[in-house]
């Protein structure tokens, strides 16, 4: 398969990408999803001969039922929240680029629609220049890099490849910081009084990845520092950082979100707010793990109320941010704006 020849300006494609989701909140669908996700060597860095028997044995036997229950807690009428919001974001961006010869689509690294499927669809539509945009603000080998790996695997099978650019991490992008700050301000405005503290919870990673050179931890801390500065005009309480979604027995980035929630309650912080700036859209890790189980855990440890502030999702802040970054990355490909 190869890009269709063009006799005019090359057709441009933008493919936004998120992590993935099962097709349904049922054990069978979750098992298929987890098998793909946890078989990725970027995600679990153990030799397959050691890891696959564990994965195919106890994990895929017991975990799908539990995870399916978690997905059912947050599943929307239209489907998985992550898929719903990513699809809506792509549709909104397509409207922004209408008439400019830009085709916008979306894909998931794991599950459907797959990166391979949507890249081939773009090529079939005549795309000759492709911007591949993983929506991960903080770079991580287990997110950004593996998404790029999937793209490059598709390209490796093509005789005639499109020109390709990839969206860089944007953890310290001023427009991103302002977009997240705006959602937090909006959340604070809905409360009858300010929370005692604000917790910024990021997805966890094994500590080993940091020692091997992955910049994820430093990116998260930079985002937290910039958000703290951006919010000082409206929030005077402590703003702290934690890492959630641990898996397995390895040492993970500290502090864990559960540990931090327990410590906050022990310090007498009764009402807190939690935001998850590392997630571009709400998903089971934010809606079930934080908004539901996180609040329950906080109360069990002596807290009174945990307010969860939503991700950017597919709102105007998200669309404005992504349009701005995409236009920058398409510089030289898009024709200059008309002066008429």
Q: Record the tokens describing residue 105, joined without a space.
A: 């689509």
| Tokens 């890099």 belong to residue | 145
Q: Which two tokens stand for residue 74?
A: 């947050």
- Peptide bond connecting 204 to the previous residue in cis, omega within 30 degrees of 0: no
The alpha carbon of 338 is separated from its chain's Cα centroid by a whole number of angstroms, namely 35
Residues 115/107, Cβ–Cβ less than 8 Å: yes
Apex 58 CA angle, 55 and 61, nearest 5? 95
CA distance 139 to 168: 8
Residue 158 tokens, joined: 């093509």
285 is in an annotated binding site: yes
* DSSP structural state of residue 107: E
CA distance 198 to 328: 32
Q: Which residues contact 41 (CB under 8 A, 6 or more apart)?
A: 48
How far apart CA 19 and CA 143 sit, in angstroms, is: 7
Alpha-helical runs (H) found in 204-315: 207-211, 216-231, 257-266, 284-287, 293-300
Contact 184, 275 (CB under 8 A): yes
127 DSSP β-pair partners:
11
Q: Binding site: what residues are annotated? A: 203, 285
Q: Binding site for Fe(2+): what residues are annotated? A: 203, 285
């Amino acid at each position: 398969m190869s890009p269709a020849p063009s006799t005019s300006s090359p057709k441009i494609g933008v493919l936004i990408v998120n992590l993935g989701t099962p097709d349904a909140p049922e054990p069978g669908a979750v098992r298929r999803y987890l098998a793909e996700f946890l078989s990725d060597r970027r995600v679990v860095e153990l030799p397959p001969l050691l890891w696959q028997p564990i994965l195919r044995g106890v994990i895929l036997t017991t975990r799908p039922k539990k995870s399916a229950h978690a997905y059912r807690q947050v599943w929307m009428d239209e489907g998985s929240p992550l898929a719903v919001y990513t699809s809506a974001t792509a549709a909104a961006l397509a409207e922004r680029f209408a008439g400019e010869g830009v085709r916008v689509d979306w894909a998931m690294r794991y599950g459907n629609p797959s990166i391979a499927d949507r890249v081939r669809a773009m090529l079939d539509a005549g795309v000759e220049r492709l911007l591949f945009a993983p929506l991960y603000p903080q770079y991580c080998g287990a997110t950004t890099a593996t998404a790029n790996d999937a793209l490059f695997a598709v390209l490796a099978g093509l005789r005639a490849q499109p020109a390709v650019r990839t969206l860089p991490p944007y953890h310290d992008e001023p427009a991103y910081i302002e977009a997240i700050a705006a959602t937090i301000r909006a959340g604070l405005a809905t409360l009858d009084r300010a929370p005692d503290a604000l917790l910024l919870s990021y997805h966890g990673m094994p500590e080993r990845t940091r020692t091997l050179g992955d910049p994820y931890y430093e990116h998260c801390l930079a985002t937290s520092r910039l958000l703290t500065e951006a919010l000082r005009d409206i929030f005077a309480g402590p703003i702290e950082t934690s890492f959630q979604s641990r898996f397995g027995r390895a040492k993970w980035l500290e502090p864990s979100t559960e540990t931090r929630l327990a410590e906050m309650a022990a310090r007498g912080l009764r009402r807190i707010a939690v935001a998850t700036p590392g997630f571009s859209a709400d998903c089971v890790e934010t809606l079930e793990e934080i908004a539901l189980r996180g609040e329950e855990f906080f109360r069990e440890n002596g807290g009174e109320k945990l307010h969860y502030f939503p991700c950017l999702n597919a709102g105007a802040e998200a669309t404005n941010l992504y349009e701005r970054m995409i236009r920058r990355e398409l510089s030289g490909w898009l024709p200059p704006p008309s002066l008429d």
